[in-house]
Structures are given as structure tokens and as C-alpha cells.
Amino acid sequence: MLPLFSSRVGSAPSSDIKKDNSGVVEGDPKPCCNCLGRDTIANAAARVGPAVVNLSVPQGFYGITNGKSIGSGTIIDQDGTILTCAHVVVDFQGMRGSVKGKVDVTLQDGRTFEGTVVNADLHSDIAIVKIHSKTPLPTATLGSSSKLRPGDWVVAMGCPLSLQNTITAGIVSCVDRKSSDLGLGGIRREYLQTDCAINAGNSGGPLVNVDGEIIGVNIMKVLAADGLSFAVPVDSVSKIIQHFKKSGRVVRPWLGLKMVDLNEMIIAQLKERDNTFPNVNKGVLVPMVTPGSPADRAGFRPGDVVIEFDGKPVESIKEIIEIMGDRVGVPMKVAVKRAKDNLVTLTVIPEESKSDM
């Protein structure tokens, strides 16, 4: 967490405070390159601000326009690639998942372009819009979300309620808020939770660290509460972009397992309830197997503890997802421990996840 010190206008210094030849007042805190100063947030916003754009998409039925969908986005390269949310540029009404071809894009400097939606993933709610410009475009840098901690300062930028160039600041409240915590079904997702103020129109805008790097894409807020906003971590976004470049869509392997990360406290509690629970220090518990799924055909059982996946030790669901990558139809060896320390090796062949899973 960055040390915080205040900078305010006060009364004139008393005559007994001495200054050295450099003009530094004795007793003042020493300058700190990692401290949060009066200009830190303004400087971070200034680095990204020119690349933040307002997106406007006509809405309607059967070709009759009855309004506009307003959102935000960020230019991330000189080729005019804009990172945004899928729900801003994709028509969820009528044909499911049909992409709205054209998007009106307005830059901070007043320039306007007609953008084209080139990729959209509804599960992650991430989309890519492309514009073409004969003059140079401002860009923002993608950072990393892996080292974020609760309490880190962040800046949310975008165009809430079409109010372009709006900046709000806050802290990271949680670095791995699960989609299940929010009552969201479907594929498991993780979000950054912040207390930055975001509203309708902020969707797709960048969440920025104090270094002026994008560390998330603002996606939603809790309507019935204040200070509960969520963003897709930029590390997840980067992987989605790689999927777009490789195959034009996001390929997600599906096993048909409900999984739970284990820690020492959970393991101790499970052993108290069942003395036959396997003797493990870490791993991933399987409480449920979907009938007819690849995992069911491979022989997984409720109560199994996954300790190795494709020959690699695993401690979390995230590690299993990373090991699978986009490999569909590829057999993988999985080592599981069962009751009374029975060690079993299974072979599972992931299938591609369907859109409604």
C-alpha cells in the first residue's frame, strides 16, 4: 500500500523553522518516489486520459432506432484498437450475440470516427472495436493486475451519463471477487472490486493504477449500494485479446466439475467431519460432477481432491484453468486423492464450453 501524506494550504511558517541552502524545510518529510502526492492521481489520469473514448451505438428493433447505448473504451495501440465492454457494443436483444457493426467513437480531443466491432466475448464481457485514422492516435499502456493488493489506489475513467473525461478515484477493495459471490452463473470469473464511483456510461472504461497503466476494464456496479464497483482484471483481458488474435474468439475447455480451492483451515474442518478425508496439505476439492460431462466419463467422483493436473502440482482452480489454456480434445492425466488416501490417476478430455454453460 502506498504511504499517504497530506498536502494542504496552511498558515505561514514560523520564524524559528530553518531552511538549508537547498530550500528544504527542516523537519519536513523527505521526498519519496513511491509516495502518493498531490499530483499522483492527476498525473496518472493525464497519461491515460487522451486515449479514453466515448462510444455510442444506436439501439432499436427491426431497424427502427429508439435510443443509443453509451459506453467508454480505451485506445491501446496505434492501429486504432479500442478495448471496451461487450454489452456496450453487442445487441443482447433480438438475435443473441449479434454484433452491432458500427460504433460512433469520440476522442477527448474532439475527433470523431466510425468504429467497427471486430471481436466480442459475452462471458467475459470484453470486446474490441477498431478505428482507422490518418493522424496519430493517443494510446494507453496495459499494465499488470497480478500484484495488486487490497488498499492500492486506483483511478476509474470514462464517460458516465455521456459526461466525457470524467475521473474518479478510490482503492482496490478485493482483488479476486468471484462471479459466484455476485450471484452470477455460468463460467467462473474473477473481478477486481473497487470503491471508485462508476455509473451508466463508465462501462468499458479503464481502471488505472498510479503509474498510469490500465489494470482493469470497468464493467458494472451494484445498483443498491455505493462504493461497490467491479472491473475485469487486465491479466484476464490480455489473455482474451490473445484468443481473439489466434482464433477470433475465446476457446474455453470444459470439464464439468464444480471445484473448490483448499487451504489448511478448510482441510482441518473437512477432516473433523469425515476421518476418511484424504491426507493432503493442498489441492482442489471436487464437490460435484456434472452427469455425462468429460469429467464424469473420466471417472471423477464427488469428494475427489485434485493434486496434479497434466503432470503439474496444483493448488487452485486458477492453476488448472491456466494449464488447460485453450486445449480442447487433448487427453490430460489428472492425479486425485480419495477417501483413505486412495491415489487414482484419471484421463480427461476437455470439450469446448458451449455458450449457455
Residues forming the active site:
87, 125, 203
SS3 label, residue 231 = strand
Provide CB contacts within 8 A for 51, sequence distance 6+. 74, 75, 76, 108, 137, 138, 139, 140
Which of these, 112, 158, 116, lies nearest to 135 by C-alpha position? Answer: 112
In the chain, what is the straight-line distance between the N-terminal and C-terminal CA atoms, in Å? 38
Count CA within 13 A, CB hemisphere, residue 100: 28
The number of angstroms, rounded, from the C-alpha of 115 to the middle of its chain's C-alpha atoms is 24
Give the chain's length: 357
Q: How far is CA 224 from CA 87, 195, 228, 332, 343, in A?
A: 20, 14, 9, 44, 48
In 3D space, the residue among 8, 269, 235, 210 whose CA is nearest the CA of residue 142 turns out to be: 235
Q: Which residue has the cell 488505472?
A: 208
